Amino acid sequence: MYDDGGLLALLREKRGQFSKGQRKLADYISEHYEEAAFLTAAQLGNKAGTSESTVVRFAAALGLSGYPEFQRKMAGLIQDRLHAIERIEIAGGAMPQEEVVDNVMGADAEKIRLTMEALDRNAFEVAVEDILNAENVYIIGVQNCAPLASFLAYYLRLVRQRVILVGSVNSSELFEQMLHVSASDAVVGISFPQYSMRTLKAMEFANNRNAKIIALTDSKHSPMNIYSSCNLFARSDMASVVDSLAAPLSVINALIVALCLRRHDQVMNNLKLLEQVTQDYQYDSRDEINLFDDALLSDMKKKADKEQGKYE
What would the pLDDT profile of 164-205 be if each residue is shown by its tens digit? 999 876 777 888 899 999 999 999 999 988 788 889 999 999
61 lies in some domain = yes
Please give the span between the terminal C-alpha atoms of the chain, in angstroms, as a whole number.
77
Same domain for 253 and 162, yes or no, is: yes
- Tell me the DSSP string of 90-143: HHH----GGGHHHHHHHHHHHHHHHHHHH--HHHHHHHHHHHHH-S-EEEE--G
pLDDT at 86: 47
pLDDT for 139 beyond 80: yes
What is the residue-averaged pLDDT of the chain?
81
Is residue 113's pLDDT more than 60? yes
Q: Which amino acid is at 53?
A: S
Pairing of strands 230-233, 186-190: unpaired
At residue 308 the predicted structure's pLDDT band, cuts being 50, 70 and 90, is: low
Whichever domain contains 87, its CATH number is: 1.10.10.10
**Neighbour tally for 77: CB within 10 Å:** 22
* Contact (Cβ atoms closer than 8 angstroms) between residue 238 and residue 88: no
For residue 158, the surrounding DSSP H or E stretch is helix 146-159
Of 2-6, 52-56, 64-68, 145-149, the range with the highest mean pLDDT is 145-149
Residue 223 belongs to a domain: yes
Residues 123 and 138 placed together within one structural domain of the fold: yes
Q: Could you tell me if 261 and 116 lie in one domain?
A: yes
* Rounded mean pLDDT, 240-267: 87
Handedness of CA 154, 158, 199, 201 (dihedral sign): positive
In a domain, 302, yes or no: yes
Position 80 confidence tier, pLDDT thresholds 50, 70, 90 = low
Please give the residue that has the higher pLDDT: either 10 or 170.
Answer: 10
- Residues 117, 194, single domain; the answer is yes
Number of domain units in the chain? 3
Same domain, 211 and 142: yes
Residues 86 and 121 in one domain: no
Spatial distance between the Cα atoms of 309 and 2, rounded to a whole number of angstroms: 74
Q: How far apart, in whole angstroms, are the C-alpha atoms of residue 74 and residue 36? A: 7
Last residue of a domain, one of 92, 116, 138: 92
Task: Tell me, yes or no, whether 278 and 259 share the same domain.
Answer: no
Residue 2 pLDDT: 38
Alpha carbon of residue 290 to chain centroid: 43
Please indicate, yes or no, if residue 234 is contained in any of the structural domains: yes
Range 149-177 burial, b when 16+ CB lie within 10 A, else e? bebbbebbebbbeebbbbbbeeeeebbeb
Query: Which pLDDT tens digit goes with each residue over 210-242?
Result: 999 999 998 888 888 889 989 999 988 654 556
Q: Are residues 114 and 225 in the same domain?
A: yes
Residues 181 and 53 in one domain: no
Q: What average pLDDT does the segment 254-259 reach?
A: 94
Domain assignment present for residue 97? The answer is: no
Give me Rg for the CA atoms of the chain: 25
Whether 2 is covered by a domain: the verdict is no
What would the mean pLDDT of 115-126 be, rounded to a whole number?
93
Provide the percentage of residues in the chain whose pLDDT is more than 70.
79
Query: CA 123, CA 23: separation in Å to the nearest integer?
Result: 33
Decide if pLDDT at 90 tops 50. no
pLDDT band at 312 (very low <50, low <70, confident <90, very high): low
Confidence of residue 21 (pLDDT cuts 50, 70, 90): confident
Answer whether residue 152 shows pLDDT above 50. Answer: yes
pLDDT of residue 186: 97
| 248 and 128 within one domain | yes
- Proportion of the chain above pLDDT 90, given as a percent: 31
What CATH number does the domain containing 169 carry? 3.40.50.10490
Task: Out of 92, 126, 145, pick the residue that ends a domain.
Answer: 92
For residues 294 and 203, membership in a common domain is answered with no
Q: Residue 119: its pLDDT value, please?
A: 92
Boundaries of domain holding 87:
7-92
- Within a domain: residue 100? no
Same domain, 238 and 197: yes
CA distance 312 to 179: 45
- Residue 287 within any structural domain of the chain: yes
Q: What is the pLDDT of residue 66?
A: 83
Last residue of a domain, one of 92, 116, 139: 92
Q: Per-residue confidence at 96, pLDDT binned at 50, 70, 90? A: low
- When pLDDT is averaged across residues 119-143 and rounded to a whole number, the result is 95
**Type of residue at 164:** I
Sheet holding 163-166, edge to edge: 163-166, 137-140, 186-190, 212-217, 230-233
> Rounded to 5 degrees, what are φ and ψ at 181?
-60, 140
